[in-house]
A and B are shown apart, each in its own frame.
Chain A
Amino acid sequence: MITVRNLSHRIGSAEILHDLSLDFPKDGITAIIGPNGAGKSTLMGLMARLVPIQTGKVEIDGHCVAKTRTEALARRMAIVTQRVGVASRLRVGDLVGFGRWPHHHGRPRDEDHAAVERALAAFDLTELRDRFLDELSGGQNQRAFIAMGLAQETDWLLLDEPLNNLDMYHARALMARIHALSREGGRSVVMVVHDINYAAAWADHIVALENGRLAFEGAPREVLTAERLSRLFGMEIGVEEIGGRPTVLHHA
């Protein structure tokens, strides 16, 4: 379980998170939703120690993020963000291989190579392993970075907007893979999702943020109601039950 307690964060005079306390249950997929500027990515960055915590506390399976050695944390959680600035020209295989760094620190062993193979296979990248990253499509790129996080073989996988810039087909395929990981792979996934319908269809737990505060949380079926979503996003939103799942209608 990831526990967040009294987390506040300011950038300049703007308050991004305000005294936020919540739990992310172990196992399954937790989707963080909310309008732009609600603090979703900041929360993710604080949990993954990309941004130093100002006030409050985050614990991951009982280990305080601020106090635990960063090397040890890297064996508990992997983070894949949107903001990637890779300086060198990398092949897919090399990139995924770097995911093993927390385990070997520069001297890969057989088990590291095996883990890389598994991660490549899980995301259908085995064929593409010798291609350069800048020769890949957006969807393939996204997959390569998530495969790197997977190769890290951590209990927790944190994904910041993994579905960004993907078309319907690739977004669905990626989501199905992440879902399979959470089921068969035993990974607990926390992800920021913009399209509510993906959250409704695949997530086990929803966390909704609004202006740096917790708006609501719970199982999709219970919390994704027209009333709550309309208030959260400040617009008229309908929710219909289609195929046994809540489906959000926001275009009408």
Chain B
Amino acid sequence: MPDRRLTILGLGLLAACAFFLFWGLKGPAGFILELRATKLAALLLVGAAVGISTVVFQTVTGNRILTPSIMGFDSLFLLVQSLMVLTMGGLGYVMTDGPAKFLLDTGLMMAASLMLFTLLMGRGRGDLHRMILAGVIIGLFFRSMTAFVLRLIDPSEFSVVQQVMFASFGAVDTTQLAIAAVLFLAVFAAIWKLAPALDIVALGRDSAVGLGLRYDRLAMVLLLLVSALVAVSTALVGPISFLGLLVAALAHEVVKTPRHVLLLPAAALIAGLVLVIGQGVFERLLGLQSTLAVIIEFFGGLLFLYLVMGGRRR
């Protein structure tokens, strides 16, 4: 049975997609539509990946404030990119752009993030302050390392790194998009099968084990899936730190249920809505005066402060 709130979100997203595709269409319609459809697919894919991964991550870590990006994932992405520029040189870095680099990016990010998550998960679950602190320290470490690497790079090559520092939906490669879509669908199918178990994971380790869940193994599997999703979206368009936080908070607010069968689609749909509408407004109304990522960071950052200040219970 389709949930009413999900139906509304779905219809809203369809309307937003139509608006994005057909509004202000003039000139060679076929060419522009193809361009817009590619961009739209990227927006939806990234939205779904970020939304779902954040909800799952927050459930496994047992908090509502931290997201993979806040735990230092973005700074890790930048570090990996700068290291690549350093070792291969700006030209080599640009040359490798394509499916191979995308897969390499995804693989590297998955391995690194899995290490990061397991490091933090150990005994930290439930201890929110410890996890925030660890996230801040790790993020700072990666940023300092990035700054150090950037200093070693030739100034002209610095601009290459600068390009990937903010998320951009401007130039998405269709081959990369196809690979990302396949990866995403595979991971999503796996998470979807675990959705009922996620409701139990949210109860905390003791209760979950008591109810007969193989908690430790399941948590590892879930974190692996989360890192795959985050890696896919980051490698595709770059880091969007606070989108996940924004979307997960909205999803919990909209569906008001502990059931992940509803939460996960809601998060994916909301993320799609935010990205499609945001990007549409930027391109058509504001004439690309700024980038969407900056605005999302602004509102997401405010929400983060609000949550940390204890505006709501965790």
As a 0/1 sequence over residues 210 to 240 of chain B, the CB contacts with chain A under 8 angstroms (1 = contact) are 1111100000000000000000000000000
Name the A residues within 8 Å of B62 (CB-CB): 85-87
Q: Are B207 and A102 in contact (CB under 8 A)?
A: no
Nearest chain A CB to B185's CB is how many angstroms away?
Answer: 22
**A102 to B214, alpha carbons, bound, how many Å?**
12
Q: Is A70 an interface residue (CB 8 A)?
A: yes
Given contacts A70-B213, A75-B212, A98-B211, contact A88 B258 (CB under 8 A): yes
Q: Is A34 an interface residue (CB 8 A)?
A: no
A-B CB pair tally, cutoff 8 Å: 84
Chain A interface main SS type: loop
Nearest chain B CB to A25's CB is how many angstroms away?
Answer: 22
Q: Are A84 and B207 in contact (CB under 8 A)?
A: yes
Q: Are B58 and A87 in contact (CB under 8 A)?
A: yes
Q: Is A48 an interface residue (CB 8 A)?
A: yes
Chain B interface main SS type: loop
A49 and chain B: residue at smallest CB distance: B209
Contact with A84, one of B63, B204, B252 (Cβ below 8 angstroms): B204
Q: Are A79 and B206 in contact (CB under 8 A)?
A: yes
As a 0/1 sequence over residues 99 to 138 of chain A, the CB contacts with chain B under 8 angstroms (1 = contact) are 1011001110000000000000000000000000010000
B214 and chain A: residue at smallest CB distance: A70
**How many chain B residues touch A (Cβ–Cβ < 8 Å)?**
29
Name the A residues within 8 Å of B63 (CB-CB): 87
Q: Are B206 and A84 in contact (CB under 8 A)?
A: yes
Given contacts A85-B125, A85-B204, contact A134 B313 (CB under 8 A): yes
Contact with A89, one of B207, B209, B252 (Cβ below 8 angstroms): B252
B212 and chain A: residue at smallest CB distance: A74
Q: Are B126 and A85 in contact (CB under 8 A)?
A: yes
Q: Is A22 an interface residue (CB 8 A)?
A: no
Nearest chain B CB to A227's CB is how many angstroms away?
Answer: 37
**A71 to B257, alpha carbons, bound, how many Å?**
25
Chain B residues proximal to chain A, CB less than 8 Å: 58-59, 61-64, 125-126, 196-197, 199-200, 202-207, 209-214, 252, 256-258, 313
7 closest cross-chain pairs (CB), A and B = A74-B212, A106-B196, A88-B258, A85-B126, A79-B210, A85-B204, A87-B62
Chain A residues proximal to chain B, CB less than 8 Å: 48-50, 70-75, 78-81, 83-90, 94-95, 98-99, 101-102, 105-107, 134, 148-149, 152
